[in-house]
Every structure is written in structure tokens, then in C-alpha cells.
Chain A
Amino acid sequence: MTTHKFPVEVAALTRVRIDKSPMRLASERFMDNKVALVSMIVLLLIILVSVGAPLLTHFNPNVQNLSNTDAPPSALHLLGTNSEGMDYLSRDLYGGQRDLLIGFSDTIIVLWIGIVLGGIAGYSGGWVDSLVMRVCDFMFNFPFLLLIIILSSIFNTTGVGLLITVIGLTGWPGVTRLIRGLFLNLRQAEFVLAAKMAGAGDLRIIFKHMIPNIMGTLVVTATFQMASIISAEAALSVIGFGVQPPTPTWGNVLSGALDYFTLRTEPWAWLPPALLITLTILCINFIGDGLRDAFDPISSASLKCLPGNSHLQ
């Protein structure tokens, strides 16, 4: 029996793909991270119910019904209605669409600006680098709130598009500085010099050698960016400079419920949007943590849970 078993095992072992790419190893480590995995599922659910809001509720979130204001939860209005008779549930669900749209598109905008500017600065160095970094310093101190106030008074309203543009065009300095640092480091990495010795041109070095090696950090940065952008939207709405009401966003639903009476007596008004914001940000942050641990097993505490990965340096 045992003599038969051994060669079978060897055969099974040799069939295992031993040549796992770093990306594959990272995704396997991510899958082992329960918290990140659950966060991923919850976030996907939130995205699904937001995008699929028209299928889940037949109430238009913007239609007033002045004969049914401040209604408590009922079979018809599961989370009640607000002071203008709008259905809270549908406002919460539709609100997610805007928040996620702002989060995703601003993350992409910020990341693109960051990669292009940071990449140019870090790769070329010298005066180009100094110039980009000085612009970054300037933008770091740029009065973001003032810009929003001025723009909203110029356009007399704050639409989703305007908010996306403003957050996108002011949010890039941090990411740019980070990516510039990564490029600066990699520029002198020996494998980049080796590629240069092999005759590789600048574009080949940037796209084939540098960017794949900062991909992990980029993805992690992107998740944290998105979390902070969503919380920025909520904060702006609460102080009155977010997307113009009655357009539903989580921040708007929340700020509409911020009076003493509602806070005391109608938890169904503010609890769901607050929970959704918190849950979304938490999930994104946990996913970011999971990704960081997956991409960078040395610096993470998860290393000791993964016996046999110590050879990964």
C-alpha cells in the first residue's frame, strides 16, 4: 500500500505549479485574510444595493410627499420618511450611488495625476523633480474648503461633477509625493540598472520594470484614498458644501437629520446613512490593510501565520 502511495504523492507534488508569480502569491495571501475577505464581500453588497437601488425600491428619492412627512418605519416606508415626505430607504440606497461614484472616480483621477506627475518627477529627477515637488507643497497648503465655497457660489450650486472635479484636482499632492518617492527609489535599483544595461529604453523601464513593482503600493494607496474621499464627501455635506440637496448622498441624508428632534426621536433617519458611511470606509480600509499585508509579507504581522513563506524575503 505505502509503496504505491509514495510515487502518487510525488506525482501530485510535481503537478503543483511551483512557478507562482508574486501577484499570485499576493492574491493567495489576501484570500487567507478573513477580515479583508469579509470586508470585500460587504463592500460588494453595498455597491450592489446602491447600483441596484431602482430594483429594490420603487420610491423616487427626490419626490416629496407632503401628506406623509416624518413618518416612522412602516411596511410601505421601511425606514420612514423625512420632513418632506421622501422615503429614507430609497434616499440611502440612491445616496450610495453618488458616494461610490465620487469615491471611485476621484480615486482614479487622483491616482492618474499622481502616477503621471510623481512618475515624471521621480524618474527624471533634477529640476523637474524640484518643480513638481514645489507645486505639490503649494497644493498641500491650498485652502480646499475656500475653493469649494468660491466655486459653489460662482456656479450657484454644487453638482456631483463639480465636487468630483474639485476633490480630484486638489487631492493629488499626497499620492504624487508617494509615487515620486517610489520612482526615485527604483531608479537606482539594481534590476533597473540591469535593464538599462540590457539596452531597455525609458518607456520599457517605466512600464515593464518600475510600475509592476509599485503596483502593490498603488493599489493599497488607492483604497485608502477612496476611504478618505468618501468621508470627505460626508463631511462637506454636513457643513453644507456637499452635493446640493435634495440630491441624495449619504452625507446629505445625514445632514438632513441633524436636528435635535430628529436625533432624539428618529434614529431610522440618521443611523442607516451613518452606518453605511462607516461600514464602507471600514471595509475599504480593511481591504487596503489586507492588500498591503498581501503585497508586502515582511512588514506585516501576518507573516507568522503563514509558515513556509519565510523564503519570500
Chain B
Amino acid sequence: MRALRKLFGFLTLVGIAFAGIVIYRRRFVARRERIDLYFEDGSLLSFEQGSDGAGRLLPLAHQVITAARS
């Protein structure tokens, strides 16, 4: 009975740790900054954080967001 309770406690801890990792990844790792440009011909250019395009455009987007909330 005692061993079963220990096992249950261990499994609960593992479950909590796993849920924590999933939540952390969703909030901070999966959400990367990016900028999408849509053109009139229907084409799309997407710049992920770290690319040249994003390096120029993302700071300006941050400025827009900051200015809108000031």
C-alpha cells in the first residue's frame, strides 16, 4: 500500500513537471516574434525573429506598439 502511494506521488510529480514544460514552451519558446508582409498579388513574405528583414522591421513594430500604449 505504501509503495503504491509512493508510486502515485512520483507519477503526480512527473505529470506536473511535464505540464510545466508544455506551458513554458507554449508561452515563451513557441511564440517567436515575426513579421508577415502581404502583397496585392496574394504573395506573402514572412520574416522570423533573427532574419535580416525582421531585424529592420520588428524594432519599428515595437515602437508602434509602445507609442500606441503611451
A pairs with B: no
Query: Which residues of chain A have a CB within 8 Å of any CB of chain B?
Result: none
Binding site for A on B (CB under 8 A): none
